[in-house]
A and B are shown apart, each in its own frame.
Chain A
Amino acid sequence: KQEVTQIPAALSVPEGENLVLNCSFTDSAIYNLQWFRQDPGKGLTSLLLIQSSQREQTSGRLNASLDKSSGRSTLYIAASQPGDSATYLCATEETSGSRLTFGEGTQLTVNP
Chain B
Amino acid sequence: GAGVSQSPSNKVTEKGKDVELRCDPISGHTALYWYRQSLGQGLEFLIYFQGNSAPDKSGLPSDRFSAERTGGSVSTLTIQRTQQEDSAVYLCASSLVAGKSYEQYFGPGTRLTVT
Which residues of A are interface residues toward B (Cβ below 8 A)?
A: 31-32, 34, 36, 42-46, 49, 51-52, 89, 91, 93, 97-105
Contacts and interface: CB of A to CB of B under 8 A. Distances in A.
Contact of B106 (A44, A101, A103, A104): A44
Contacts of B44: 102
Contacts of B62: none
Contact of B105 (A42, A46, A97, A104): A46
Interface of B: 4, 31, 33, 35, 42-45, 48, 50, 56, 58-59, 91, 93, 98-101, 103-109
A60 B33 CA distance: 29
Given A43-B109, A100-B104, A31 B99 contact: yes
B103 A34 contact: yes
A31 B101 CA distance: 6
Contacts of A42: 108-109
A45 B39 CA distance: 20
Contacts of A49: 101, 103
Given A99-B45, A105-B42, 16 more contacts: A34-B104, A43-B91, A43-B107, A43-B108, A45-B106, A46-B105, A46-B106, A49-B101, A49-B103, A98-B33, A98-B48, A98-B99, A101-B45, A102-B42, A103-B42, A104-B42
A34 B48 CA distance: 18
B31 A44 contact: no
A100 B50 CA distance: 15
12 contacts: A34-B104, A43-B107, A44-B106, A46-B106, A49-B101, A97-B99, A98-B33, A98-B48, A99-B33, A100-B35, A102-B43, A105-B42
